[in-house]
Structure 1
């Protein structure tokens, strides 16, 4: 049975073959353009090649990054009913070797450096530059053979430990593409400007899957530069702009330096971490754009959207469930789907969605229960079904037998005028005793006085929630999608 992704690609290729589907431009490198017709033809050519060179259900490592060739590679692998392991193109050789071993990969597609490393481990390799202009000897035979049995493998964020490899089938990918296209309102005459990595779940869904379902054009940014991206937004190159908090903050700062006017963006929304109030206010006040928020993860896909155009919009919420998703809140100590909590009661968030994973590749999953994924997020639903997040279950810190939610302490510290961002971590004192450490980043042009910040926190937090140690840093270690890597901070 052909998948919705394959059907949509064929449909767009037939109705407007010469229209641009994906473009990489303005990056100081040669422009790369992919039309809908080229995309369908090149994907079929790659699928035919994979049918000949790999076994059924084989894993293919894909290390391309934000380039139209990624779109060809992913759809070619799915069209061949194989599994694509999406990876960063600048992975180290040891990371490629580890991925190949964990997934039993048979082939690799990527940049010259990526495939050079992959070839050392016996993988059949395809260079990125061979993809876009390729044609199939019998494209129709390839499309007819497609069963919709492929999958994408994605590495989880690894913010609190070793990354897991998540498997999401072609049906799941089509479902989340439809859900985002409908719930956020992707249209055929829209243009997405993508600054986030397309090989991560968020970028994949909003820079490939939803645009493919809706027929939306995508403009790719290979490497983020605030001034360049701002110039493109000011020039009206995008109507949809999904990104992450630190990029929205950098663009607000670049906008203030430039003294520029407002932006004409129809949809702009953030994911990957809490959106600071100051960043939201800067975009609304100076750029004239109200930012929405999106909630999801590698395991569950995008599952909720906070629509700025909705009556009673609350910028601190992550909104209501997208079409095809269900959100419930359960008791955090004894979660039971038979006893969901009521409106306003805080607990563990559980999600059911047609777009979520089928399994972890090389380890069991205790999080899948009766069709729901038990997240580690803590939050509550209001009486309109809007979700507000309060922190992470596995980040709760035991202080003398009492649980401290670091998100609560971080929010207090970030409310200080000199603090741009704060992370609160456990500091082991003895085998049984923890205390708190705060790592803070100052706002641009300001200095954090830790004694003053200590007094500021003392007036707003209970004694056991007060950090004992304060460290000031210029920046925080982050993943490619902007999430703070707490494990790296703990190790340092």
Structure 2
């Protein structure tokens, strides 16, 4: 019986299954086994032994990946963040990017003396994407990250014969806990594309001939605009992200045999996965309970109890324990057998003419219009007869798109209460490292006209 079978039957710790993985990881034309990476990572940590809680800045090469895997298997505290991120004060060093420690000298990198106070909880920490504000620092027990990854592996049916192409960053829970670790637990061949663009994405699809692809709506949109022919009948797509319009989803289903929607968060990891080509029926992972904040409501804020959630969270202050019932801040429609569909953020919704308008719904509707590549809706600091005024900032896919055309589309496709009061066209909208729109910057730039 191998380590994966033992962990599956025991239902406990998947650490040895990861350490004994038969996967090889392919990156930049080279490939390295998990065992070789673990050996490299352990040697690397010896060189950074003085740093107690370092930030791993950008997991984009084998050296950084080796440190990450060794940290998970050996349960060494570390924070994962983007290469250009500013680590929080809890970190006493930084590895990666320029490979420089934050401290000016080795004395500042020392381990705390006996009795010295801890700077934060122990474990593997990630930073939230900061879509709506300052990023939060979130601590996970590596054993919980592995346990959730095992549930993903089992739900998707990943196996040793699979070839998994990962086009998303590994410092987020999507890339790490939903893509990389499940593939490694399965013993699959893993192909990493840390800086994906259309050219490299197309090249990886040809070279790796993947059976599974992990992507985001932003990268997928660039692909399907130019590729309409189906890939291999065995190639499936896992998709996570905000505001996936129906036309994009339909195009994805022309290219990929099966499309699975995945829903999760930095605090909980993966929460639910849809059936193939069934985006409106997210099915919670085994042991995960999803329910409305108002008992019996058909549409309400989504609350989740997750057996492998984060342990602590810090946001502009000390770390606090995560509550057992986590309010995700998302509005969901609840369906039979515990399934649900996400409508959008509760703090990105408002009352208009007595009706609830979820801005994500409005954005999806507008992104279905011809000539619209990306749309971000924001509430303005002014009132109308229907309620708060709404502006929509649009990145067009066609130079022919005009404000008059947008108003015509709104009049013919949107109910009166949902029609924007103002439009703005932008050649390129700012994005976060995750590929999501940078709503903070967009709101600041366009809220006042």
Give the TM interval when normalised to the shorter protein: 0.7 to 0.9
| 1:434 corresponds to | 388
CA contact (8 A) 1:179 1:324 kept: no
State the SS of the aligned residue for 1:394. Answer: helix
- C-alpha separation between the residues in 1 aligned to 2:141 and 2:240? 23
State the SS of the aligned residue for 1:291. Answer: strand
CA contact (8 A) 2:184 2:190 kept: no
1:291 to 259, 264, 285: 259
What TM-score do you get using the length of structure 2 for normalisation? 0.84
1:268 to 223, 237, 240: 237
2:307 to 354, 357, 363: 354
Gap change, CA 1:212 and 1:124, over 3 Å in 2: farther
User: What is the Cα-based RMSD across aligned positions, in Å?
Assistant: 3.0
CA contact (8 A) 1:32 1:67 kept: no
User: CA deviation digits over 1:227-283, x for unaligned, max 9?
Assistant: 332232134531111110011111112325xxx563344331110223221122222
Deviation at 1:168, TM superposition (A): 0.9
CA contact (8 A) 1:351 1:372 kept: yes
| 1:53 corresponds to | 50
State the SS of the aligned residue for 2:241. Answer: coil
Gap change, CA 1:297 and 1:252, over 3 Å in 2: same
Deviation at 1:172, TM superposition (A): 1.6
Matched, 1:226 2:198: yes
Query: 1:8-407 to 2 correspondence within 5 Å?
Result: 8-12=17-21, 21-25=24-28, 31-46=29-44, 53-54=50-51, 58-91=52-85, 95-96=86-87, 99=88, 101=89, 103=90, 105-111=91-97, 113=98, 115-116=99-100, 118-120=102-104, 124=109, 151-256=123-228, 262-285=231-254, 287-308=255-276, 313-315=277-279, 317=280, 319-331=282-294, 339-341=295-297, 345-361=298-314, 363=317, 368-369=322-323, 371-398=324-351, 403-407=356-360
Deviation at 1:208, TM superposition (A): 2.8
- C-alpha separation between the residues in 2 aligned to 1:321 and 1:401? 32
User: CA deviation digits over 1:392-411, x for unaligned, max 9?
Assistant: 11112355786532123223
CA contact (8 A) 1:85 1:153 kept: yes
Structure 2, unaligned runs of 5 or more: 1-6, 111-120
Could you tell which deviates more after superposition, 360-369 or 247-256?
Answer: 360-369
Deviation at 1:457, TM superposition (A): 1.7
| 1:140 corresponds to | none
Deviation at 1:468, TM superposition (A): 1.4
Deviation at 1:288, TM superposition (A): 4.6
- C-alpha separation between the residues in 1 aligned to 2:192 and 2:199? 16
- C-alpha separation between the residues in 2 aligned to 1:90 and 1:459? 44
Matched, 1:470 2:423: yes
What TM-score do you get using the length of structure 1 for normalisation? 0.77
- C-alpha separation between the residues in 1 aligned to 2:321 and 2:376? 26
CA contact (8 A) 2:290 2:305 kept: yes
Gap change, CA 1:419 and 1:162, over 3 Å in 2: same
Structure 1, unaligned runs of 5 or more: 26-30, 126-148, 332-338
Matched, 1:6 2:15: yes
Deviation at 1:217, TM superposition (A): 2.3
Gap change, CA 1:405 and 1:457, over 3 Å in 2: same
How many matched pairs? 422
